[in-house]
Structure formats: C-alpha cells, structure tokens
C-alpha cells in the first residue's frame, strides 16, 4: 500500500514535468497530477480492503486461533469508522472529484481554443461514461469487500450467541480483527468461557448436593440464618447391613449400596422430595423444602411406597447375581423444622433441624421393634386424611419425648 501510494505520488510529480516540456496546453500538467492522485487514492483504498480481507479470513485464524487480537500490544487498530471513511473516499469522493476535474479540464480546452467545442464535448462524453463505469465497478467491489469483512464476524457472533441461548457454552467466536467487532467477539468468548466454567462448577456442586438445593443456594434464596418451614421428613435405614459389610468384599458393598441409593433417591425425587444426605446406610429426605410443596405428607407416603416397590425389584436382581437381599425401615413425620445452611470451618451444608427431624428418625428406629417397614406419626396420618388405609399401632414412648407418640404402619 505504501509503495502504491509512493508510485502514484511520484507520477503526480513526473507527468506534469514531462508535459511541460512538450508543446501542449499548460493546464494538462495539473490535470495529469490530479488524475494520478485520484487513481492512487482508489488503488490504495482497494489494496487496503483486499489486504484486510486476506488478513481476516486467511491469516488471523491460523496465527490467532484462540482470538485475543484486541489484547496484542503494538498492533494497529483500524476502527469501523476508519473503514467507512475509506469506503466513502474510494467509492464516492474520489470518483466525484475525478469527474468534476475532467469536466473542468474539457471546459478549459474550449476556453483556450485548443480544440473545437464539438470534439471536446464528444471526448468528454466518452471520458465520463468510461470513468463512471470504472468507478461503479470499483465501488461495487469495495462495498462487497467491506460487507464480507464486517458481516462474517457478525454472523459468527450471532451463531455463538444462539448456542449460548440454548445452553451450549462450548462454541467460540472466530476472532478476525482487533476493531470493535473483534473486541466484542473476544468479550463474548470470555463470557462463554466463564459460563462454561460456572456450569462445570455447578455440575460438580450438584454431585454433593441436590440440584434443587444447588439452585436455591446459587440464587441466594436460602437464608443463612435459617427459616421455619412446614415439611415432612423421611428417614430410611438398611437392616442387617453391618454383617453384610463384614462378609462381602468392599467393592461389592459399594456397588450394592450405590445401587440401593440410586433406586431410593429416584423414588424420592419422582414424588417431589429432596434427599438431604446419605449417612452411612441411611437416607434423610425432606418434602416441602427448600421449595414449598403442597400436600407434602401424601407425597412422602407415595415416595415410601415407591421405595418399597423399587427395593423388591432391586432385591430380585441382587438374588439373581448371588447377593443377599436388602431390608430397610422407613419413618415419616410432618411438622415445622428449621431449614438453613449449617456448618463451620468454611464448609456449609443445607440441613433441617428440630423436633420434627428427630421424631422421624425415631420412627425409623421403631420399625425394627415393631416389625413393619414403613411407620408414620399421628401428625402425618391426620394430614393424610381418612382416604389412606393405615394400621394403628400402640402409642410408644420415644427418646426425647415424655408423652407417647401415635404410630401408624403402612400396610
């Protein structure tokens, strides 16, 4: 581009000097100088947009596959406004001035009487038509280059944003320049990397807590100082698990208990419950927190029945593979409980505490003595209503309560 500009600038000096030595009109030297400058401006503009096209679509993807052109120090940053000015110069201003000076040059020839007016007018018409055709072709070419250089990066941005809208954070914008569009593309790439990292952390977080708790914590809707919620607590505990651990290889124990937890947690979640934690071979689940759940006692009972069915199906597979079947006991109680993030030392866990939780755990322990697999408290039974068939058992005193507790078994 610099060489092009230098040569046409030199031509603007040399042509007039040569013409001044010939027996022609003096004003032709000025006309040739202006034409040289005009052609130089158009060729430099065209060379600029061609070079930019090659840089953006051929070299940038090779040398900067990860983008980041806007962060490279020492690079020329040619902004969109400069491109528009170059397009205006090469497609409009220079052609307009060239035609104006061509007309003025022809008028000067008529004034000095160098050529007949009719001949000058005919030559002028031919010159204007040729110039217009050349300038139109040049303008269309420049507009096409500018359009391609700007539209393709914008399409890349729209493509990636469309992926982000659907939750796909793996796509990246191919950065082609260091202008405003390139800077925007770099920022979008950084944004998608941040969103992908957040999604990875979110997924990893979801391995340790449920998705419901995870989403509530990330949204800041769980008060750190706690809140009282009306919930139904379900405890489930495996029977005769310790002897099985002693008689079974550790890897098989892990496989068996993980399969059990998978089936039981699925039953809980299918009925709107939330598994709070696994404590050894015990499951603690809640219905009605952190998200409110209408008729949570009935949901808890249906989950317990589903757990019973799933355990029977799982035992059939265990027996078929040579393992001993499992037995469990489930205790259910409804009432108020304190729900909060509880912990210390930089580690917190979403937990429910209070008498409701303790009584549900006690009912689960009573299943051993009463020989039933599902027990519910009188409070839960009253909330279920008369439409649910329950077996009333004897009122029993449990640890932590001075008065006997009504106990019902699920047939």
Q: What angle do CA 351, 358, 295 make, to 5 degrees?
A: 70
Q: Distance between the two ends of the chain, CA-based, in angstroms? A: 91
pLDDT at 27 over 70: no
Task: Note whether 170 and 51 are within 8 A (CB).
Answer: no
CA distance 404 to 235: 20
pLDDT band at 26 (very low <50, low <70, confident <90, very high): low
| For range 329-350, the mean pLDDT | 84
Quote the tokens at residue 151.
């539209």
Ramachandran region, residue 234 (left: φ > 0; alpha: ψ -120 to 50; beta: rest): beta
Output the pLDDT for position 84. 85
Quote the tokens at residue 126.
């031919």
pLDDT at 32 over 90: no
**Percent of the chain whose pLDDT exceeds 70:** 88
Q: What are phi and psi of 392, to 5 degrees?
A: -75, 130
Q: Residue 179 CB: number of other CB atoms within 10 A? A: 23
Output the pLDDT for position 331. 96
CA distance 86 to 151: 17
Residue 25 or 189, more confident: 189
Which among 232, 284, 283 has a CA at the least distance from the CA of 260? 283
Q: What are phi and psi of 347, to 5 degrees?
A: -125, 130
CA distance 233 to 273: 9
Task: Note whether 354 and 323 are within 8 A (CB).
Answer: no
| For range 107-119, the mean pLDDT | 67
pLDDT at 263 over 90: yes
pLDDT tens digit sequence for 384-397: 988 889 999 988 88
Query: Residue holding tokens 């809640």?
Result: 286
pLDDT band at 372 (very low <50, low <70, confident <90, very high): very high
pLDDT tens digit sequence for 129-165: 887 888 888 888 888 888 888 888 888 899 999 988 8
Quote the tokens at residue 325.
């079947």
Cβ neighbours of residue 13 under 8 Å, at least 6 residues apart? 33
Quote the tokens at residue 143.
């507009």
| For range 366-384, the mean pLDDT | 93
Which among 355, 411, 356, 347 has a CA at the least distance from the CA of 380? 356
Query: Which of 83-92, 287-296, 299-308, 396-405 has the largest mean confidence?
Result: 299-308
Sign, Cα dihedral of 140, 146, 151, 152: positive
For every residue of 227-296, which 3-state class applies, written as one string? EEEEEEEEEEEEECHHHHHHHCCHHHHHHHHHHHHHHHHHHHHHCCCEEEEEECCEEEEEECCCCCCCCH
CA distance 84 to 88: 6
Which among 131, 274, 133 has a CA at the least distance from the CA of 212? 274
pLDDT tens digit sequence for 84-94: 888 888 888 88
Q: Residue 323 CB: number of other CB atoms within 10 A? A: 17
| For range 360-387, the mean pLDDT | 92
Strands 227-239 and 274-279: unpaired
Task: Note whether 304 and 270 are within 8 A (CB).
Answer: no
Output the pLDDT for position 215. 72
Quote the tokens at residue 400.
């932590």
| Class of domain 215-409 as given by CATH | alpha beta
Decide: helix, strand or coil at residue 337: strand
Average pLDDT, the chain: 84
For every residue of 137-177, which 3-state class applies, written as one string? HHHHHHHHHHHHHHHHHHHHHHHHHHHHHCCCCCCCCCCCC
Annotate 116-129 with DSSP letters as a single string. -HHHHHHHHHHHHH
Annotate 373-409 with DSSP letters as a single string. SEEEEHHHHHHH-TTS--EE---B--TT-SS-B-EEE
| For range 217-230, the mean pLDDT | 73
Task: Note whether 351 and 340 are within 8 A (CB).
Answer: yes
CA distance 222 to 229: 12
Give whole-number Cα distances, 16 to 11, 131, 162, 308, in Å: 8, 21, 59, 103
pTM of the predicted model as reported, rounded to 2 decimal places: 0.57
**Percent of the chain whose pLDDT exceeds 90:** 29
């Amino acid at each position: 581009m610099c060489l092009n500009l230098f040569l046409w600038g030199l031509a603007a000096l040399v042509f007039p000097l040569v013409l001044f030595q010939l027996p022609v009109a003096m004003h032709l030297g000025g006309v040739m100088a202006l034409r040289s400058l005009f052609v130089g401006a158009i060729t430099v503009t065209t060379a600029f947009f061609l070079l930019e096209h090659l840089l953006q679509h051929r070299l940038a993807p090779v040398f900067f596959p990860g983008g980041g052109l806007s962060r490279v120090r020492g690079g020329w940053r040619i902004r969109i406004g400069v491109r528009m000015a170059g397009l205006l110069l090469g497609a409009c201003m220079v052609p307009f001035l060239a035609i104006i000076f061509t007309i003025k040059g022809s008028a000067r020839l008529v004034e000095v009487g160098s050529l007949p007016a009719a001949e000058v007018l005919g030559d002028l018409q031919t010159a204007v038509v040729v110039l217009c055709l050349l300038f139109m072709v040049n303008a269309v070419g420049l507009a096409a280059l500018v359009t391609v250089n700007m539209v393709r990066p914008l399409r890349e941005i729209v493509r990636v944003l469309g992926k982000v809208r659907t939750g796909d954070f793996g796509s990246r914008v191919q950065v082609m320049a260091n202008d405003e569009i390139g800077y925007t593309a770099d920022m979008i790439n950084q944004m998608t990397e941040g969103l992908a990292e957040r999604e990875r952390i979110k997924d990893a977080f979801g391995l340790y807590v449920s998705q419901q708790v995870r989403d509530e914590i990330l949204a800041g809707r769980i008060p750190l100082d706690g809140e009282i919620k009306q919930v139904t607590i379900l405890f489930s505990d495996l029977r005769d698990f310790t002897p099985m651990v002693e008689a079974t290889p550790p890897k098989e124990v892990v496989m068996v208990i993980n399969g059990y937890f998978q089936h039981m947690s699925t039953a809980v979640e299918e009925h709107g419950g939330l598994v709070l934690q696994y404590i050894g071979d015990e499951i603690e689940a809640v219905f009605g927190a952190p998200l409110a759940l209408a008729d949570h006692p009935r949901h808890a009972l249906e989950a317990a029945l589903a757990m019973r069915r799933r355990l029977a199906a799982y035992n059939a597979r265990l027996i078929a593979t040579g393992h001993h079947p499992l037995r469990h006991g489930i205790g259910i109680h409804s009432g108020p409980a304190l729900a909060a993030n509880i912990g210390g030392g930089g580690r917190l866990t979403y937990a429910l505490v209070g008498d409701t939780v303790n009584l549900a755990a006690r009912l689960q322990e009573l299943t051993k003595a009463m020989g039933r697999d599902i027990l519910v408290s009188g409070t839960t039974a009253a909330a279920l209503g008369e439409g649910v068939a329950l077996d009333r058992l004897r009122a029993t005193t449990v640890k932590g309560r001075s008065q006997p507790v009504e106990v019902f078994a699920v047939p």
